[in-house]
Structure 1
């Protein structure tokens, strides 16, 4: 019993420090690392301190993969922001139609997922919430819609959290992406209904219910198609652009105006999203053209069998983000001061995320080295048996809620989830998808995200109210995941 309690202590300490003491993620990670190391080398687990160098090196190598994608993802966002492209995309959406429902859907299920796919970490809130307020929605509604619009998190920053989850969980990335996308389809329909209900009320929702359901389904289905036939990394970007394109077609059909000014606007709109289109083309080509795929994935490849590390420099999404960043600088003719400011903003945003993620990965790797995760997974398997599948989304939800990051949550819990699944003779893919989706979508309930949303909307005095309301959204999300798991459980 003492051994189990000590194995749980690192996870309990993380929850206690974040949720009760309200400490920063970096401080929490440092304390958790020190505590986990102390427990690992204690007589209870009796791990040789020299053996802990391996998990630390593994953690550093994992961070290299994350940083490569994250840095250039943030940089692309800031470069486009300096060029006015982000505001241009937002402006074209708001000027396209006076239909409140289509405005909400294109912002919440189109533009926000588009921004999150490439930048991540809640940056879409900063763009979406002010636009909603400018369109006439009150700040509380705008705050809630902006939080719910962070729905593409499993594929945010080109699916970084999902990639790390697949790596640490020792499962195939494409299977995790496809399974997560299938679980998200009904959830996206739920979100589409919810954001419209919050924005314009029940009567307006009832009149356009079919259109609303269709847009939610479209986002989920297009994300699944990209995961299934193209690549996991590209899915969020592809899904969001599909939604934006289809809604613009709806707007055109209703307006039926094609004057010169309309053509000029279309040309300007295409210019604003050109970097994203280029990124899609590059990623799509590199994943579909087999000879090119084989060349890129095998050229300049860094590997280490001892540390289970593999990074193809020219095949990683980070490389294509780098190319698009260079293209963006020349395409928009950015000044040196704008480029410098973009780099400074990127460094400021990146380093806390990278340090925090490293600390959580290190905790996970040290726990694995000391056999703590194996002990906890065996205990969970013995305690819940086949019913553990219904516990898995709660574990993921706790991780997403506490850390506000799918990457951090997956590094903490996905190995525990997959190893428990193996102990009970269940496919690890199912619990990994449950972990990935619940963890991702509960990041919108994270207190720091709520604080950011309230700050942008200038309603900090309503923070508790927003926190309670978004918590109910999270409970509804978990209820859908439970229903999906129950159906699968019955069918097995």
Structure 2
């Protein structure tokens, strides 16, 4: 196939990345620029074309996918605002600080336990608001900052598995199928991150002293995520896995010491969300009834709004706000979600336009024919990591390139494995993206005004080093899984 034609097919993606990384433009501008380039290519290159029916299918599919994400994003932000105003996060922070456990063990419990659970339930970097105050009380500034950012690595299951669910829709697979394989491609990442965190705390001395505990908790989280995806629900996999791993860590850390009660008042909203989601999924007649009341369908995707976890988030937010009244501005919540929603819509339009016009097939055909299977496997996690880093979002990264990855893998009957590798790479790389780093630094400087010497560059250099190990962990898992899938 003509390499120049294949190069033109990648121009929309290259445009997005250049706008973000070199022109320093925001994600909305960058994704819209990619969409404009796609339109120009369709107009001027005969190979890529969209007839009126394909344009309608592109808009319809992108709209349904956008609605399915927005219906989670906005209620999620609303619930987060309610909980922050009610000081729920402060209650959890105080409880963790009171645990009779050494700082290293407490850090591990947070990083592969409670912080992933919080981020899985709410998303949007809420775990940073919980982790940063605790880590800065336990450790010196630079160590605390590194640990805080490491807690963002649950992303394939963040925001109730939203990125994985949307990714599954894009490749026409069930969330459970993509989630299960992703849990395997990510399996080695969590044990690796526990070792990184110990090294960040105290170098080889801490690593040797707490290595066994780190591996136990990291493998526990990975195993529970797989079990939840395989036998329960992708939406709640990160939440359940994080909570249970945290409890296991507490049991090991506290030993025979006196029982430390859970802060039930602070945890009540989270427990309620979990119970409602699980109840709806478990009671099949209710789930089927809700699924058929309203269904949005296009040629490629379908969505039942009333079964979305976003409805549960909204109901719980309204109930919690009513129980303990706080003033929440809906306009502010909508403004806060505006950027994420707009960028998501343009990314999804971009991906669907590239799919319908034949650009995705061109890219996948060239990579599979020119690179071969082994180079394609080596590239797969890197492509995912680049998309997550560039967009600052697992969801955005999936919208941008997961379909191409699936098509490449299909050349060797490994579509789901390549898609999972992309999902893992994009999700785990988000912690190193500029938006997340800026958010972490902003929270630190807002809370601790004397920490002005901490820079985005310092944190970026650390996360990029950690990302080398993440790449190797995902790659190792791919080579093992390739023998079985």
Shorter-chain TM-score bucket reads: over 0.9
The aligned residue for residue 106 of structure 1 is 109
- 1:462 pairs with one of 449, 455, 462: 455
Instruction: Give 1:275 shift.
Output: 1.2
Q: Secondary structure at the match of 2:228?
A: helix
The aligned residue for residue 479 of structure 1 is 472
Does the CA-based 8 Å contact 2:115-2:127 persist in structure 1?
yes
The aligned residue for residue 201 of structure 2 is 199
Q: Secondary structure at the match of 2:418?
A: helix
Instruction: Give 1:443 shift.
Output: 0.8
Determine whether 1:412 maps to 2:400.
yes
TM alignment of 1:60-459, pairs within 5 A: 60-135=63-138, 137-255=139-257, 257-258=258-259, 266=261, 269-298=263-292, 300-304=293-297, 306-331=298-323, 333-335=324-326, 337=327, 340-341=328-329, 343-387=330-374, 388-422=376-410, 424-458=411-445, 459=452
How far apart, in 2, do the equivalents of 1:82 and 1:442 lie?
30
- 1:9 pairs with one of 11, 15, 28: 11
The aligned residue for residue 448 of structure 2 is none
Q: Secondary structure at the match of 1:201?
A: helix
Give a deviation string over 1:216-245, Cα, whole Å, max 9, x none. Answer: 111111111111111000111111111222
Instruction: Give 1:175 shift.
Output: 1.2
How far apart, in 2, do the equivalents of 1:179 and 1:489 lie?
11
Aligned length: 475
Give the RMSD, CA atoms, in angstroms.
Answer: 1.9
How far apart, in 1, do the equivalents of 2:409 and 2:392 lie?
25
Does the CA-based 8 Å contact 1:230-1:288 persist in structure 2?
no
Does the CA-based 8 Å contact 1:97-1:103 persist in structure 2?
no
Instruction: Give 1:53 shift.
Output: 3.8
Q: Secondary structure at the match of 1:391?
A: helix
TM-score, normalised on structure 1? 0.92
How far apart, in 2, do the equivalents of 1:479 and 1:43 lie?
39
Q: Which range is displaced more, 183-192 or 392-401? A: 183-192
Give a deviation string over 1:269-294, Cα, whole Å, max 9, x none. Answer: 01111111111111112222333332
Does the CA-based 8 Å contact 1:193-1:212 persist in structure 2?
yes
Q: Secondary structure at the match of 1:314?
A: helix
Does the CA-based 8 Å contact 2:172-2:301 persist in structure 1?
no
Q: Which range is displaced more, 14-23 or 459-468? A: 459-468
Instruction: Give 1:97 shift.
Output: 2.5
How far apart, in 2, do the equivalents of 1:180 and 1:225 lie?
12
How far apart, in 2, do the equivalents of 1:450 and 1:36 lie?
30
How far apart, in 2, do the equivalents of 1:382 and 1:107 lie?
45
Q: Which range is displaced more, 120-129 or 99-108? A: 120-129
Instruction: Give 1:127 shift.
Output: 2.7
Instruction: Give 1:490 shift.
Output: 5.9
TM-score, normalised on structure 2? 0.93
Instruction: Give 1:447 shift.
Output: 1.9
Give a deviation string over 1:86-111, Cα, whole Å, max 9, x none. Answer: 11111101111241112212222223
How far apart, in 2, do the equivalents of 1:316 and 1:446 lie?
28
Residues 328/491 of structure 1: CA separation in 2 closer, same or farther (3 Å cut): closer
How far apart, in 1, do the equivalents of 2:302 and 2:290 lie?
13
The aligned residue for residue 46 of structure 2 is 44
Instruction: Give 1:254 shift.
Output: 4.0
How far apart, in 1, do the equivalents of 2:405 and 2:63 lie?
23
Instruction: Give 1:358 shift.
Output: 0.7
Residues 167/443 of structure 1: CA separation in 2 closer, same or farther (3 Å cut): same
Does the CA-based 8 Å contact 1:301-1:310 persist in structure 2?
no
How far apart, in 1, do the equivalents of 2:16 and 2:250 lie?
45
- The gaps in structure 1 that reach 5 residues or longer are none
The aligned residue for residue 57 of structure 2 is 54
Give a deviation string over 1:378-416, Cα, whole Å, max 9, x none. Answer: 111111232222221111011011111011111111110
How far apart, in 1, do the equivalents of 2:288 and 2:482 lie?
39
How far apart, in 2, do the equivalents of 1:461 and 1:210 lie?
32
- The gaps in structure 2 that reach 5 residues or longer are 446-451
